[in-house]
Amino acid sequence: MSLVGDYDGNNIFAKILRGEAPCVKIFENDEVIAFMDIFPQSQGHCLVVPKNTQARNLTDFAPERLGALFAATQKLTKAIISALNPDGVIVTQFNGAPAGQTIFHLHVHIIPRYENLPLQRHHEGKPADIDTLREQAKRIAGALEN
């Protein structure tokens, strides 16, 4: 069952956190790292990933750390709204494969929505253009400073 199990320290987010895999980073602090999703469903799709944890999903995560995770999520959501001017924003978190989770390290998706543009399929297409992701990350990071 994908809701329970042993943490796999070789998942891509663990590798990113250890500096063993690249990402297009937006910001980082002691609690989280935020970066662009390599398989975006929409322009500006990014992730907030907690550091120093082996939580596979929300039920595994220390309750006293939820505030820092969701404060960072809110901060990033506001920056996305400022930088990219979407018509709406999805903030979501999946728990278990049947719910859509594909990487078993707790993470939150922030997905900007634009009128009349459908969401792309996640993780089934080709990776996004890295230069495009870097440009979006730069715009979002710039909005964090305001």
- Looking at this protein, which amino acid is placed at residue 90? I
107 catalytic? Reply is yes
Statement: residue 125 has pLDDT above 60: yes
Confidence of residue 18 (pLDDT cuts 50, 70, 90): very high
Q: Find where tokens 């602090």 sit.
A: 29
Please give the mean pLDDT across all residues of the chain.
Answer: 94
Statement: residue 33 has pLDDT above 80: yes
pTM of the model: 0.94
Statement: residue 22 has pLDDT above 80: yes
Active-site option among 107, 109, 122, 123: 107
Q: Which domains, from first to last, does the chain contain?
A: 12-144 (3.30.428.10)
Q: How far apart are CA 32 and CA 66, in angstroms?
A: 11
> How do beta strands 32-36 and 46-50 pair?
antiparallel
* Per-residue pLDDT reduced to its tens digit, 87-119: 999 999 999 999 999 999 999 999 999 998 888
H-state helical runs in 1-146: 12-17, 66-84, 130-144
Statement: residue 1 has pLDDT above 60: no
Q: Which helix (H) or strand (E) holds 91?
A: strand 88-92
Confidence of residue 15 (pLDDT cuts 50, 70, 90): very high
Better-scored residue on pLDDT, 23 or 146: 23
List C-alpha distances in Å: 43 to 18, 19, 39, 75. 27, 25, 10, 18
Q: How far apart are CA 85 and CA 139, in angstroms?
A: 11
Using only C-alpha atoms, what is the Rg of the chain? 15
Q: How far apart are CA 110 and CA 47, in angstroms?
A: 6
